[in-house]
């Protein structure tokens, strides 16, 4: 990953901007029912260990590139991203096949409530973080 | 001319996509709308009139979304099938200031200082 950041620094004009945006595994994702008033949390969807490790490695790579003086940290933030599903079954199918998340939600509502709403619309609500990094003219240039 | 309001809000209050359609996990259809994402990062000024490189561009979701604002957009992805899809999508959309190439971030086939903005969206 650091190799890629060195290469990105090469193709960026001095003062140019690198945008690093990815799901934020430090923030819990939620399985939520969509209703006319908004969202009701039905469960917590945890990130898989592998993806947590990948995210950590990415964080380290960015930190290393900043330490080496290739980039200067700029603005950062987070926004919510909603992945829509037409039913609870569809959300479960998604979790079973998606490598980012563990394959089952930790439900915070009882099974009768889940059954009652099983054909309603659901979302997975997850955080996406971003950071802007400015390319610094390195001593190698 | 695209209005700023449309660009920032993408016509939606949140980044929700098409409801009720199950699509493969890796599909960019499950990612945020590009202009919504751009709005979160700081808005159109981030790419307006600039040379942009989208690394890990997949089927061109973000590259094609920001192309109308940028001077030029290059997209690169190691997946040849995704690049073929990106080229098809560009043709379909009639977007001419984008180029797509197969390749890895570790060996970018571009000269030095070729871009003003590089985007790693859901890539690193």
* Residue B25 within any structural domain of the chain: no
Phi and psi of B62, rounded to 5°? Answer: -80, -45
Give the ipTM: 0.85
pLDDT in tens, A85-133: 999 999 999 888 877 788 788 999 999 999 999 999 999 999 999 999 9
Contacts of B21 in chain A (CB under 8 A): 86
Q: How far is CA A14 from CA A30, B46, B81, in A?
A: 40, 15, 33
Instruction: Report the alpha-carbon distance of residue A117 to residue B49 in Å, rounded.
Output: 48
- What residue has token string 């493969």? B24
Strands, E assignment, chain A: 12-23, 29-35, 38-45, 71-85, 106-107, 122-135
**Residue B33 CA neighbour count, 13 Å, CB half:** 17
* Residue B84 within any structural domain of the chain: yes
pLDDT at B121: 86
State the Cα angle at A11 between A8 and A12, rounded to 5°: 85
Shortest distance between the Cα of B20 and any Cα of chain A, in A, equals 4
**Would you say B33 and B10 are in contact if contact means Cβ atoms under 8 Å apart?**
yes
* Residue B15 within any structural domain of the chain: no
pLDDT in tens, B29-76: 677 888 889 999 999 999 999 999 999 999 999 999 999 999 999 999
Instruction: Report the alpha-carbon distance of residue B112 to residue A90 in Å, rounded.
Output: 46
- The domain limits of chain A are 2-135
* Residue B26 within any structural domain of the chain: no
CATH number reported for the structural domain that contains residue B97 in this entry = 3.40.50.150
Tokens of A101: 């998340």
* A49 vs B19, residue with greater confidence: A49
pLDDT at B4: 31
Range with the lowest mean pLDDT among A18-27, A36-45, A109-118, B6-15? Answer: B6-15
> Domain range spanning residue B112?
45-120
pTM value?
A: 0.82
User: Could you tell me the pLDDT band of residue B25, with boundaries at 50, 70 and 90?
Assistant: very low
pLDDT at B30: 73
- % of chain B with per-residue pLDDT over 70: 75
Instruction: Report the alpha-carbon distance of residue A86 to residue A119 in Å, rounded.
Output: 7
Size of interface A-B (CB pairs under 8 A): 121
* Residue B5 within any structural domain of the chain: no
Contact (CB<8Å) B17/A83: yes
Contact (CB<8Å) A130/B46: no
- What residue has token string 């509502």? A109
pLDDT at A44: 94
**Torsion from C-alpha of B19, B23, B24, B28, nearest 10 degrees:** -70
Average pLDDT over chain A, rounded to an integer = 91
- What residue has token string 């997850």? A126
* Residue B111 within any structural domain of the chain: yes
B106 interfaces chain A, CB cutoff of 8 Å: yes
If one counts the domains in chain B, the total is 1
Tokens of B119: 């985007």
């Amino acid at each position: 990953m650091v190799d890629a950041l060195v290469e990105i620094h090469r193709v960026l004009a001095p003062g140019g901007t690198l945008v690093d945006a990815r799901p934020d595994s430090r923030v819990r994702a939620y399985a939520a029912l969509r209703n006319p008033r908004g969202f009701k949390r039905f469960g917590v969807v945890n990130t898989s260990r592998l993806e947590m490790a990948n995210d950590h490695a990415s964080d380290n790579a960015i930190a290393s590139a900043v330490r080496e003086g290739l980039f200067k940290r700029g603005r950062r933030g987070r926004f919510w991203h909603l992945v829509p599903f037409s039913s609870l079954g569809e959300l479960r199918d998604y979790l079973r096949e998606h490598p980012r998340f563990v394959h089952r939600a930790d439900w915070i509502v009882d099974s009768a409530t889940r059954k009652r709403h099983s054909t309603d619309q659901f979302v997975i609500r997850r955080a996406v973080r971003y950071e802007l990094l400015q390319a610094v003219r390195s001593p190698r240039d | 001319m695209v209005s700023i309001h449309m660009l920032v809000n993408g016509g939606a209050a949140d980044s929700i996509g098409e409801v009720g359609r199950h699509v493969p996990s890796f599909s960019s259809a499950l990612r945020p709308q590009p202009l919504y994402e751009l709005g979160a990062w700081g808005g159109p000024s981030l790419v307006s009139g600039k040379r942009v490189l989208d690394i890990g561009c997949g089927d061109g979701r973000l590259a094609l979304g920001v192309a109308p604002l940028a001077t030029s957009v290059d997209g690169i992805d190691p997946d040849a099938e995704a690049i073929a899809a990106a080229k098809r999508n560009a043709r379909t959309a009639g977007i001419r200031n984008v180029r797509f190439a197969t390749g890895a971030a570790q060996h970018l086939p571009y000269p030095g200082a070729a871009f003003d903005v590089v985007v790693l969206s859901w890539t690193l």
